[in-house]
Amino acid sequence: MTTISRRSLLVAAAGATAFAASRAAIAQQSYNNANAAGAGAPFVLPPLPYAVNALEPHIDAQTMELHHDKHHASYVNNLNEIAKMTPQIAEQPMEYVLAHLNHVPEHVRTTVRNNLGGHVNHSMYWLVMSGNGGKPDGEVLQAINRDLGGLEKFQTDFNAAGGGVFGSGWVFVTVSAKGTLAIEARSNQDTPLMDGKRVLFGNDVWEHSYYLRYQNRRPDYLKAWWNLVNWQKIAERYAAAKHGTLAI
């Protein structure tokens, strides 16, 4: 009995140590990136605007940790490495660089496209979610009704566009300077910013954004995601777009 108890305690202690080490490694990665600017690095991983478990049960905490602290952080790290050799990618606003990729040296163009696209897409993605959910109102709802056939049709069409992305990608709502809305799907880390457009909001349909909870059930993730949309933030972005101040 004593041997079994001691073995159990050792196993439990080892598991707790491994878990703590994993969390510590993730925290250190976030710390390193959050302080990159202080070390002279031009690209910085933005902190999450909420706790990693704030989007439960629709997006689990482990997914949020891996998605933000690993996937997004890797784009930032890659950009900072590229910027050492090609500093001009950090000398203009990110949306300008993406809209003028033909100005980026050819030998790093694809790498910049993938990593800068991933950085701006994810920076937007974290901002347009919250644990509170809700419904659109005001000018945003008016625009949805006018341009996208009403909220129910819009959500159905948005989900269909996201579900129709082959492999990895994103589904976006673009917004013009006049406030006109449209739905666009893009592959990989591409973004409408590459065409000089502005993104009101978008959803990530790469598997790493949902697979731990939803496995291959992307439609379930797309449907659940509407419980997390931060319509107040989207209203702010909509107003900024109409005033010509919306960046990424």
Q: Which of 64, 197, 66 has its CA nearest to residue 125?
A: 64
- Sorted by where each starts, the structural domains of the chain and their CATH numbers stand as 60-248 (3.55.40.20)
Which SS3 state, helix, strand or coil, does residue 202 take?
A: strand
pLDDT (0 to 100) of residue 39: 55
Sign of CA dihedral 140, 60, 188, 87: positive
Give the span between the Cα atoms of 159 and 165, in whole angstroms: 10
Exposure of 134 in the CB half-sphere (CA atoms within 13 A): 14
Q: Give φ, ψ of 132 to 5 degrees.
A: -95, -25
Let me know: does 242 contact 177? Beta carbons within 8 Å. yes
Phi-psi region of 169 (alpha: psi -120 to 50; beta: other; left: phi over 0): left
Report the distance separating Cα 63 and Cα 67, nearest Å.
6
| Residue 16: per-residue pLDDT | 39
Token reading at 204: 């990530």
pLDDT of residue 215: 97
User: pLDDT by residue (tens digit) across 113-133?
Assistant: 999 999 999 999 999 999 888
Cα Rg of the chain, angstroms: 20
Instruction: Give pLDDT, residue 40.
Output: 74
Residue 58 and residue 227 in contact, taking contact as beta carbons nearer than 8 Å = yes
Q: Residue 148 corresponds to which amino acid?
A: L
**pLDDT tens across the length of the chain (248 residues):** 333 344 443 334 444 333 333 333 333 343 344 444 435 799 999 999 999 999 999 999 999 999 999 999 999 999 999 999 999 999 999 999 999 999 999 999 999 999 999 999 999 999 999 988 889 999 999 999 999 999 999 999 999 999 999 999 999 999 999 999 999 999 999 999 999 999 999 999 999 999 999 999 999 999 999 999 999 999 999 999 999 999 99
What is the pTM (predicted TM-score) of this model?
0.84
The candidate with the shortest Cα–Cα distance to 69, out of 105, 27, 41, is 27
